[in-house]
Structures are given as C-alpha cells and as structure tokens.
Structure 1
Amino acid sequence: MNYYILFYETVPEYTEKREPYRDIHLRLAREAQERGELILGGAFDPADGAALVFRGESPADAEAFAEADPYVRKGLVSRWYVKKWAVVIE
C-alpha cells in the first residue's frame, strides 16, 4: 500500500465560510475512514489550508474525495493536489 497526501489551499475566511458545509465534509471524511482510505486529516494553524492522508494503491481515492468534497465544490478550496508520500517509518 502507498500513502498519498491531499493538500488543500483555502480561500480567506475559510473557517467562517465552511460552516454550512462542515457536516457533509466530515461525513464524507468519516465514510472514507471507515472504508480504510483516509488515515487522518485536518486544517493547518492558521487555517490557510489542510492536509488529508490516504492509503491505497493509487491516488484515486484522494482525488475522488476532493472532487466530492463540498469545500472544493463550493469554492472554499482555491487549489488542491495530491502527492505520493514515501513513508519510511510507520
């Protein structure tokens, strides 16, 4: 299995703007976690972005999460990208 990090770059006042979509975002995250795809995730401090760590054979699960996430769909994420993470200590 490989690890992939989904990076979000967020818009100004992201924390205030996310409120209407937070429950849906967290539900999607919990569902991905229950399927064993999402390992951990959270916003940076200050909240100018976020990172979510996925485990899988390809970046497809991380990409699908971003495409379905209301934060992305509603424009709260100005840019997202996925990078393979070469974990050497687990």
Structure 2
Amino acid sequence: MRHFLLLYEYGSDFEVRRAEVREQHLSRAWAASARGELMLAGALAPPVDTGVLLFRADDAATAEDFARSDPYVTNGLVKAWRVREWMTAVGDEAASPAGKPSDTKEKDHE
C-alpha cells in the first residue's frame, strides 16, 4: 500500500460555513477510516486555511474519489484540492521503509 495526501485549500469563509456540512463530512471521513483508507485528517491552524487528509491505498483514486464527493468540496467550502503521493520511508507504516537500523540492542558507552 502507498500513501497519498489530499490537500484542501479552504475558502475565506470556511470557518463560518463549515458547520452547515461538518457532520456529513466527518461521517464520510470516519467511514473511510473504518475501511482502512483514511489514516489521519484535520485542518492546519492557525490560520485554518488548509486541510490535510492522509490516505493509504493502492492508487490516488481513493483520495480523489473522496474529494470529489466530500460535502466540503461539493458545497464550495474547498476552493481547490490536489492529491500527492507521499513517499514514506520511515516509521512502522512506511510504504517503502529505508535504512532501518537493526533491532540489536545499543551498547552502553561509559
């Protein structure tokens, strides 16, 4: 599985309008999380002008499909979005682990 970042650029009225559709947006996000597709999501702050959603999938279509039908997008709260593959290399969930040290215990240097 690979990692994809869905990046939202919020409109200037996002914070004022998001209450209108936030429950629908969160319901879809939690459903995607339950399916194992959406790993983390939230807004960058302050200011609240960008959203970042981390997907784990075989291809970008999972994140793209989410965006196209997300109430934040369909109701105009997001003025632009894009999906970028994230080439994860470090961490237990990395798609392509690189340079991981061996699991041997470190020696004391006294």
- Above 0.5 in TM-score? yes
8 Å CA contact retained: 2:63, 2:83:
yes
Deviating above 6 A after TM superposition, structure 1's stretches of 4 or more consecutive aligned residues are none
Higher relative contact order structure (alpha carbons within 8 Å, sequence separation ≥ 6): 1
Q: How does 1:40-51 map to 2 (within 5 A)?
A: 40-45=40-45, 46-51=47-52
Aligned mates of 1:15, 1:37 — CA distance in 2? 26
Q: TM-score, normalised by structure 2?
A: 0.80
Partner of 2:72: 71
Structure (1 or 2) with the larger CA radius of gyration = 2
Greater strand share, structure number? 1
Report how many residues are paired.
90
SS of residue matched to 1:72: helix
Q: How does 1:1-90 map to 2 (within 5 A)?
A: 1-45=1-45, 46-90=47-91
- Read off the aligned partner of 1:24 and give its amino acid letter: Q
Aligned mates of 1:42, 1:63 — CA distance in 2? 17
| Structure 1 gap ranges (5+) | none
Aligned mates of 2:63, 2:39 — CA distance in 1? 11
- Read off the aligned partner of 1:85 and give its amino acid letter: W
Q: TM-score, normalised by structure 1?
A: 0.97
Greater helix share, structure number? 1
